Amino acid sequence: MLAWLYLGSEWIIRIGMIPIVLRRRRPESALAWLTTIFFIPWIGLSAYVVFGRQRLGRRHVAQIREAVRVVRRTRRSGIEGESPARSGVPARHHDLIALAELVGAMPTRKGNHVEMISNSEAMVRRLIADIDEAKHHVHIDMYIYADDETGARVNQALARAVSRGVHCRLLVDAHGSRAFLAGSAGTLRRAGVEIYPQLSVSPFRLLLERIDVRNHRKLAVIDGRVGYVGSQNIVNPDYGSGHFGPWRDLTVRVTGPGVHQLQVVFMEDWYAERRVILSGDDLFPAPDQGGAVTIQIVPSGAAFEADALKDLIVAAIHEAEKRIIITTPYFIPGETALAALRIAVRRGVRVDLVVPERANHPIVSAAGRSYLRELARAGANVYLHQSGLLHAKTITVDDALAVIGSSNFDIRSFDLNLELNLLLFGKQVSLDVLEQQELYIGESKAILRPDRPSRWGGLAEDAARLFSPLL
C-alpha cells in the first residue's frame, strides 16, 4: 500500500506541476524543470520550491523598485545635469549607448579618469589608502565580505575612519558574507560602522521567493569622489581555498562624474534595506571633469526588465567588426547570446573566449564546456586559463568599447542577480582593457579542442547543458 501511495504521489507531482511550470518559465527553463521533475519528482518538486520561482518575490521586487524610484526622484544630481555625452564615441555605438541608458536608466558621463587594478593585493591597499583619506563617508556594497585577513585589514581602516568622524556604511549579501555577519561584523558595529545584510536567507523568505537570487555587486564610494567597481570582493586572493591558487580579478578605480552614479546605486540598495534616504551635499561634491574617459554605469537586477543586461551584451556583440574578447569564470550564455557569438564568427569577426581551465563549480563548468565546444567548432578561439582562477569579467569590442563589472557570462547574471557593470568608451581605455585580456590569453597554455571528449565526458557535458537554465 505504501509503495502504491508513493508511486501515485510521484505521478500527481509530475502531472500537477506541468501547468505551474509552463506558466512561470521560459520554454528552455520549463523543459529543464519538467525533465527534472519527471525523473526525480520529490527532489525536483523540492528544488522548484526553493529555486524555481522566476526571480525575487513580488514584495521584494516592489521594494527594490520603490528604492530606485524614491532615490532618483529625491536626488537627481547623480544622474542628470548635462546631456548624454556621445562626443568622441563612434556613431555606430550611439544606439548601444541609448540601449544602455534604457537598461540602467543612467546616461553616459564624460570627463572621467579610470585606473585598472588587476592585482588583488594592490586593489585592497589602494582601497584602504582611500578609506584612510576619507573625510565625510565611506560606502561599500559587497557580495563577499570575508571574515579573513583581508576583511580584518579593511575593518581596521573603517574603524579608523569612524574614529575621525567619517560615516561608514556597509551593505553585504546575506549569503556571500554570512561568515563575516556571524563573526567580526559585531565588533565593527560596536566601533560605529553601520552594517546591514541584503537578501536574507531565512526560512520565512523561502516561503515567499527563491533564495538563490543574490546582490552580486562589488562597489565602493569614498566621499563621493572616488569609486570602485569590478569583480573583486573583500576577501583573501585565494578566496579561502588553496585548490586553484590566487583568483584573478579586475577592478576599476573611477574619479569624475561617473562616481555620482555609483553613489546613486549604493543609495538605492541602502534604501531597499533600510527605508532611509541618505542626504547631504557631501554625497555629491562637484566632480573633477578633467579625465578623458566616457563611461556609463549599468546596474541590472530585480528593479529592471528581465534579460535587459543580456540584450545589451548581445547588441554589443552584433556591433563588432573585427574582434571580440570575453573573459569570464562561468560561461552559460543561453541560446540567444550563443547565437550572437556564432554569427559574429561567421561574419568574419575574431572571437576569443578566456575561461579558467579548472573552475570551482564542476557542474557549471561541464555545462559551459558544451557551449564552448560548439563555439570552437564554429571557429571561435577558446583559451583555458591556467594561472590561478580567472575571475575577471570583461568584454572588449574592437578597440572602441569595453565592459567590466560583476556579471558573469551566464544566465544567472543576465536574468537573476543584482549586478553592476561599467561601459568604457574610447580607443585608449579599450586598449588598456585589451592589454589585460591579452595577458590572460598569454597565461592560457591550452586551447579547448572542438571535438567531443570521451563518451562519458561528452555525456556529462550534454547532461549538464540540458540543465543549464537552472544553473
Residue type, 247: W
Q: Kindly state the cell numbers that stand for 231.
A: 569583480
- Say whether 218 is catalytic: yes
| All residues at 6 or more sequence positions from 2 whose CB lies less than 8 Å from its CB, including other chains | none
- Say whether 391 is catalytic: yes
- Say whether 393 is catalytic: yes
- Residue tagged active-site, from 173, 223, 352, 415: 223
- Residue tagged active-site, from 93, 393, 410, 432: 393
| All residues at 6 or more sequence positions from 279 whose CB lies less than 8 Å from its CB, including other chains | 74, 75
- Say whether 223 is catalytic: yes
- Residue tagged active-site, from 216, 260, 310, 385: 216
How many angstroms separate the CA atoms of 319 and 83, rounded? 24
How many angstroms separate the CA atoms of 100 and 298, rounded? 7
- Residue tagged active-site, from 148, 391, 415, 432: 391
- Residue tagged active-site, from 352, 398, 410, 415: 398
Q: Kindly state the cell numbers that stand for 289.
A: 571633469
- Residue tagged active-site, from 110, 175, 218, 385: 218
Q: For the chain, what is the HEC assignment?
A: CHHHHHHHHHHHHHHHHHHHHHHHCCHHHHHHHHHHHHHCHHHHHHHHHHHCCCCCCHHHHHHHHHHHHHHHHHCCCCCCCCCCCCCCCCHHHHHHHHHHHHHHCCCCEEEEEEEEECCHHHHHHHHHHHHHHCCCEEEEEECCECCCHHHHHHHHHHHHHHHCCCEEEEEEECCCCHHHHHCCHHHHHHCCCEEEEECCCCHHHHCCCCCCCCECCEEEEECCCEEEEECCCECCCCCCCCCCCCEECCEEEEECCHHHHHHHHHHHHHHHHHCCCCCCHHHCCCCCCCCCEEEEEEEECCCCCCCHHHHHHHHHHHCCCCEEEEECCCEECHHHHHHHHHHHHHCCCEEEEEEECCCCCHHHHHHHHHHHHHHHHHCCEEEEECCCEECCCEEEECCCEEEEECCCEEHHHHHCCEEEEEEEECHHHHHHHHHHHHHHHHCEEEECCCCCCCHHHHHHHHHHHHCHHHC
Task: Give catalytic residues, as residue numbers.
Answer: 216, 218, 223, 391, 393, 398
